[in-house]
Structure 1
Amino acid sequence: MAGMKTFRSPSRHGYAVEISPFFPTRLACATSQYYGIAGCGTLLVLEQSEAGISLFGSFDWNDGLFDVTWSENNEHVLVTGAGDGSLQIWDTANPQGPLQVLKEHTQEVYSVDWSQTRVENLVLSGSWDRTIKVWDLERSQSLCTLQGHEGVIYSTVWSPHVPGCFASASGDGTLRVWDVKTGMSRLVIPAHKAEILSCDWCKYDQNVIVTGAVDCSLRVWDLRNVRQPVSELPGHSYAIRRVKFSPFNQTVIASCSYDFTVRLWDWGSKGQPLLGTLEHHTEFVCGLDFNLHVPNQVVDCAWDETVKIYTPPCLAAFQHVAP
């Protein structure tokens, strides 16, 4: 693909990638040795330029890193989730090691997310121990632990609209919507008859969420009526690892999969919702994000030891924008 930039990190397999909310050219990638099965993990902080992608800094941890989230109020701070059940808080201005390590989960932390509403300053963590924890990083202990899922938790994502509200996706096949104030899930949606590996909120509608599952389908849900999805998007040939709504187009979604592809969708289309399929990786594609600052720019990472930044041609020509 013309204009694609690639960064290679030998012996580090990518699990998650996120672009900085402050710097349009900076991104972070959570990686693991030996495909996350054994070995250590490395947080890569990368910088893109016209010439390509360069390493801004790297931070090692003694277990695999499975997810990363940038702080929404400090441009230098990131949080990662690790295979030993801990969260690490990193400062890119301090390469000596994590500022803080939070260890309460008893199994892998597979998801971390920083609240986006600016009303609170909280971090979510979802774990294979079937619990979700809410953290205020000014404290050394979690604010609360939320339970309800009957399977491992793969994805926890704050609502970008409603303070104290977040969604979670689990191996039990359910999507849950939670209220931190009550500590309870206010909606339990049997979203797939398979493990759900990812979920994300629409940036333009507080009632719309997408799920991606092991059954190879994406489903878009309207929380006002959850009896059936408002859109179902089949097409991947293996499990969907991550789903993301576009920050620039209300009905555009990106997904990546264990089938080595990234796909772009228009879930509002009356005809063919699949906009394009990208086949630029040779292993599982695990991490995916849209650039908040650059319309239609996408970043992904895979087990093939590469991070790629590009603008999908199918999005460059896609004119539908949110009202």
Structure 2
Amino acid sequence: MVKVFRCAARHGYAVEVSPFIPNRVACTASQYYGIAGCGTLLVLDQTETGVTLVRSWEWSDGLFDVAWSESNEHLMVAGGGDGSLQLWDTANHSAPLRVAKEHTQEVYSVDWSQTRGENLIVSGSWDQSSKVWDPALSRSLTTLRGHEGVVYSTIWSPHIPGCFASASGDGTLRIWDVKSAACRLAVPAHKAEVLSCDWCKYDQNIVATGSVDCSVCVWDLRNVRQPVNQLQGHTYAIRRVKFSPFSKTLLASCSYDFTVRFWDYSRTQPLLDTVEHHSEFVCGLDFNLHVPNQVVDCSWDETVKIYTPACLSAGTHGAAS
């Protein structure tokens, strides 16, 4: 069963399931495909029969990414087309708690750190920089430069404190150490723009990248001369890649080809399933941390969808295999 929420005249850019509330999802969407107009942040709850709107807020520019706090179930950070990060509180109905505007161009990526004893936000921008923030967003703690193109994706390592990965229009995947404010590794991952990256939840050395070249590459950071696997099947740019929280070698990708695909990169035939239930670019994608094999995605076709793909409901991918 697919549960659908329709957000009229809003084109979905990102979804993230709450780390605290199993049925709660945040979604950022934009008017006019994010090219002009305003943005909307939606908080949705999954019910027995469908998806209901808990709360929504309007922002004066497009919203491109959202991340839940890992320490407070009410807080989210979103990234906007005006170069701002906004801190939102589900209990505060009117406006963001704080707005930080240091980036000089669109903020395309935000992520909240998950490692114990650390509470940081990272942002990636079209101004080619990444910034690290304290959770109050008072001001950035450090700015990291090195990419020679737009930064599309910034993701904290779930394993190593003070370490994040970034993906860029310059074709590289970079690994950063916040304490020394240095790039530890630059991987020429694709010969085209890299729009997304994600860390394996079970192995600190495994990172996936998704590119305009239609491929997902899985990298072992100990040896980056060539990818562990290159996953082929999408026919247009890959907008987002996500590793499963329940299975070591399982990942999902969504694309401008209107599909979401599921892969097991340890297999010789890695493509497990192709889900074709959108009529526009699929931009947002997340696994539910609380409900094994449940997936949430959002598209420019104005819908958010919650479902369990057939390849996972069969139970072949249970606990960390």
Name which of 6, 9, 20 aligns with 1:8.
6
Cα contact 2:99–2:137 (8 A) shared by 1: no
Structure 2 counterpart of 1:297 = 294
Say which of 98, 107, 110 aligns to 2:108: 110
Matched residues in 2 for 1:288 and 1:141: separation? 29
SS class of match (2:293): coil
CA distance in 2, matches of 1:131, 1:209: 20
Distance, in Å, in 1 between the alignment partners of 2:156 and 2:34 is 25
Structure 2 equivalent of residue 65 of structure 1? 63
CA contact (8 A) 1:6 1:306 kept: yes
| Aligned-pair CA distance for 1:51 | 1.3
For residues 209-220 of structure 1, what are the structure 2 equivalents within 5 Å? 209-220=207-218
Residue 150 (structure 1) aligned with residue 144 (structure 2): no
| Contact 1:72–1:118 under 8 Å retained in 2 | no
Residue in structure 2 matching 1:187, options 185, 188, 195:
185
Shift in Å, 1:272: 1.1
> Partners of 1:319 and 1:251 in 2: how far apart?
12
Matched residue, 2:85: 87
Q: Of 252, 255, 264, which aligns to 2:253?
A: 255
Measure, in 2, the Cα distance between the counterparts of 1:190 and 1:76: 38
Confirm or deny that 1:273 pairs with 2:264: no
- In structure 2, give the amino acid aligned to 1:189: V
Distance 2:49 2:281 in 1: 26
d(CA) in 1 for partners of 2:111, 2:135: 12
TM-score normalised by length of structure 1: 0.98
**Pick aligned residue for 1:282 from 273, 279, 283:** 279
List structure 1 runs of 4+ shifted beyond 3 angstroms: none
Q: How far off its partner does 1:118 sit? A: 2.6
Rounded Cα–Cα distance in structure 1 between residues aligned with 2:121 and 2:15: 17
Q: What letter matches 2:66 in structure 1? A: V
In structure 2, give the amino acid aligned to 1:84: D
Which whole-Å CA distance do the structure 2 matches of 1:318 and 1:252 have between them? 13
2:176 is paired with a residue whose SS is strand
Instruction: Mark the CA change 1:139 to 1:255 in structure 2 (over 3 Å): closer, same or farther.
Output: closer
Residue 72 of structure 2: aligned partner:
74
Secondary structure in structure 1 of the residue aligned to 2:311 = helix
The residue number in structure 1 matching 2:38 is: 40
Equivalent pair of 2:100/2:137 in contact (CA under 8 Å): no
Question: Quick one: percent identity of the two aligned structures?
Answer: 73
Q: 1:62 to 1:318 in 2, by over 3 A?
A: same
| Mapping for residues 198-213 of structure 1, pairs under 5 Å | 198-213=196-211
Tell me, in whole angstroms, the C-alpha distance in 2 between the residues paired with 1:146 and 1:316: 41
2: CA distance, partners of 1:138 / 1:199:
25
What is the deviation of 1:283?
0.2
Q: Cα 1:296–1:62, aligned 2, differ >3 Å: closer, same or farther? A: same
How many angstroms apart in 2 are the aligned matches of 1:318 and 1:282? 28
Given residue 125 of structure 1, which amino acid in structure 2 is its aligned partner?
S
Distance in 2 (alpha carbons) for counterparts of 1:150 and 1:88: 26
Cα offset, 1:318, TM superposition? 4.5
Query: What are the ranges of 5 or more consecutive residues in structure 1 without an aligned counterpart?
Result: none
Give 1:20's match in structure 2, choosing from 18, 21, 24: 18
* 1:317 corresponding residue in structure 2: 314
User: What SS class does the counterpart of residue 312 from structure 2 fall into?
Assistant: helix
Which one is further off, 312-321 or 85-94? 312-321
Report the 3-state secondary structure (helix = DSSP H, G, I; strand = E; otherwise coil) of the residue aligned with 1:143: strand
Kept in 1, the 8 Å contact 2:245–2:289? The answer is yes
Query: Deviation at 1:138?
Result: 3.3
Partner of 1:126 in structure 2? 124
Letter matched to residue 277 of structure 1 = T
Q: Is the 8 A contact 1:212 1:240 kept in 2?
A: yes
Aligned to 1:307: 304
Counterpart contact for 2:98–2:136, Cα < 8 Å: no
Contact kept? 2:30, 2:63, Cα under 8 Å = yes
Aligned to 1:54: 52
| Distance across 2 between alignment mates of 1:242 and 1:188 | 20
Output the aligned Cα RMSD. Answer: 0.8
DSSP 3-state at the match of 1:167: strand
1:264 maps to a residue whose letter is F
Q: What SS class does the counterpart of residue 221 from structure 1 fall into?
A: strand
8 A Cα contact 1:135 1:144, kept in partner: yes
